[in-house]
Every structure is written in C-alpha cells, then in structure tokens.
C-alpha cells in the first residue's frame, strides 16, 4: 500500500473476514459498503435541498436547449446557463468528494494488495523471470532461503534478454532473507509469500539498473468475474458493482 502501509493491521482487522470469502462475494460486499458510505457522506455533507434545486434546473435548461435547436443563438445562451448551473452543482458536491477521496484510496490499496493476484500456494511450482536490457550476456545464479527449493539448475544463461528460474516452497513469508540472484558481480533480491490465503508480494519488482529491468514472480491475475468472456479483476468488478449500488442507494435515499 506504499505510504499508507502502516494502516494494514487496522484494515486487516476491519476487513479480514472478507478474506475468507470467494473474491466475487468479497468485492461485491466491499462495493456495497463503499457505495453506502459515499452516499451517506453526500447526503449529510451537502445541502440536499439546494442540490435538488440545481439538478432540476439543469434538467429544465437541457430540455429548453433541445427545444431551441432551430434557434442557435437562444440555444447557446440556454446551454451557457446550464453549464453555469452545473458548475454550481459540482462545487456543492466537492466537499463530499474530498471527504471520501483519501479513505477510498486507502481501501483501494488494501484491495489491490489482496485481490489483484492469486497467491503462490505451498508446494506449488512457480517461476521468477528476470528481464534484462537488450544485449545483456552472462550467467545468473540464484540462492534461496530455507523452505524454498530451486527446480532445475541454479545457474542459467541469459537468452533473448531473459532468464527464468523455477521454484517450489513451503508456507512462509520469504523477505528476510528473500530469493537472491547474482549477475555481473551484483546482487538482486525478490521477496515472495507462499500461502493458501489471500496474500502476495507485488509480482513485478522494477530494478533501476543498467543490466536488469525487472524481476517478476508468476502470480496469476485474479479473475473476480467473467462477464460474457470479459475477464474482470477486482477493480473492473468493483466499478460495475459500485455503479449499480450507487444508483440504487441514491434513488432509495433520495440523494441528489
């Protein structure tokens, strides 16, 4: 979660029960909760009478503009007034938007850290791929912490700007020490979590180096919902769920 990682323990305590659910239901429930919180904040942080008045005025002006389509000058004047009214509406909702922005970013970071990818399971074969700059040549050797074994050779030659190592391991958090690679007298590290729960280290680790571009662990992307062949992750699924919930809750609670 980066800057907000210190909040992980609190978020795990609050949302931890969702981790025991299938990803579909966890994201569905989270989408409802976030939508409900946002709608409630909009309801109580804005002047709803004024918001309704402005929204009705916008609709009236838009209708007038359509009726004046054969009178361009009058239609333009009405559209200008509609834009001014819409700006007032947006300014009124700005306070609620600011109140929800940071909490949503924090929650999104937590969701990204638990539902974006599938975990590496205990005793499951997985790989780490080292992508090199064009023209890189030489051998890469790997050393692993206790609990992880290397499948195949522990030293491999760079081919087509890439080296792939295979691994298998026991349950654990391997960050101290992590998996270590040696190339051209330099050491590179890649952390990995092996678990049956919804935990993982971000699969791609970017390297600021003249030789290596990145090290990637083979965590598969988590498909939360398959919508007529359109495979959606947590964010795409959240957007669809949240849109439906927000529209329904706004109508039910008469939030404008």
pLDDT digits (tens, 9 = 90+) for 46-97: 999 999 999 999 999 989 888 888 888 888 998 999 999 999 999 988 988 9
Each domain of the chain, given as residue ranges in start order, spans: 2-116+232-253, 126-217
pLDDT digits (tens, 9 = 90+) for 138-172: 999 999 999 999 999 999 999 999 999 999 999 99
Q: Which two tokens stand for residue 238?
A: 């959240």
Q: Give the percent of the chain with pLDDT over 70.
A: 98
User: Residue 200 in contact with residue 117, Cβ under 8 Å?
Assistant: yes
How far, in Å, are 7, 102, 109, 231 from residue 4 at the CA level?
6, 10, 8, 29
The Cα 192–Cα 10 span in angstroms is 23
Instruction: Read off the pLDDT of each residue in 186-206 and give the average, rounded to a whole number.
Output: 96
pLDDT digits (tens, 9 = 90+) for 167-187: 999 999 999 999 999 999 999
- pLDDT value at 2 more than 60: no
Using CB atoms within 10 A of its CB, is residue 146 exposed (0-12), middle (13-18) or buried (19+)? Answer: exposed
Average pLDDT, the chain: 94
Reported in sequence order, the residue ranges of 118-246 that DSSP labels E, i.e. its strands, are 126-132, 139-143, 148-151, 155-157, 162-169, 172-183, 186-194, 204-206, 212-217, 225-227, 230-232
Residue 4 is predicted with a pLDDT of 66
- pLDDT value at 1 more than 70: no
Confidence band for 6, pLDDT divided at 50, 70 and 90: confident
- pLDDT value at 17 more than 90: yes
The least confident of 58-72, 117-131, 202-216 is: 58-72
Helical H runs in the chain?
8-15, 23-45, 48-67, 72-115, 234-253
The Cα 90–Cα 68 span in angstroms is 25
Radius of gyration from C-alpha coordinates of the chain? 26
- Report the C-alpha dihedral over residues 252, 254, 255, 256, rounded to 10 degrees: 130
The residues, any chain, with a CB within 8 Å of residue 98's CB and separated by 6 or more, are none
The Cα 96–Cα 164 span in angstroms is 49
pTM of the model: 0.85
pLDDT digits (tens, 9 = 90+) for 95-109: 889 999 999 999 999
């Amino acid at each position: 979660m980066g800057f907000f990682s210190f909040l992980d323990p609190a978020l795990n305590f609050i949302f931890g029960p969702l981790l025991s659910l299938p990803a579909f239901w966890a994201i569905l429930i989270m989408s409802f909760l976030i939508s409900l919180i946002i709608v409630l904040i909009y309801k109580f942080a804005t002047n709803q009478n004024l918001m309704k008045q402005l929204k009705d005025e916008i609709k009236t002006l838009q209708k007038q503009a359509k009726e004046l389509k054969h009178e361009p000058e009058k239609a333009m004047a009405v559209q200008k007034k509609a834009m001014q009214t819409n700006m007032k509406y947006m300014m009124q909702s700005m306070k609620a938007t600011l109140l929800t922005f940071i909490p949503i970013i924090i929650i999104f970071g937590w969701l990204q850290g638990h539902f974006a990818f599938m975990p590496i399971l205990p005793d499951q074969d997985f790989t780490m791929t080292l992508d090199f700059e064009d023209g890189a040549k030489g051998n890469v050797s790997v050393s692993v912490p206790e609990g992880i074994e290397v499948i195949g050779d522990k030293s491999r030659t760079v081919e087509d700007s890439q080296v792939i190592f295979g691994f298998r391991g026991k349950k654990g958090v391997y960050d101290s020490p992590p998996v270590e690679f040696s190339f051209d007298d330099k050491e590179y590290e890649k952390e990995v979590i092996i678990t049956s729960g919804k935990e993982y280290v971000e699969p791609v680790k970017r390297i600021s180096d003249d030789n290596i571009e990145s090290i990637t662990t083979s965590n598969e992307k988590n498909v939360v919902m398959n919508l007529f062949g359109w495979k959606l992750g947590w964010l795409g699924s959240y957007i669809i769920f949240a849109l439906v919930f927000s529209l329904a809750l706004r109508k039910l609670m008469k939030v404008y």
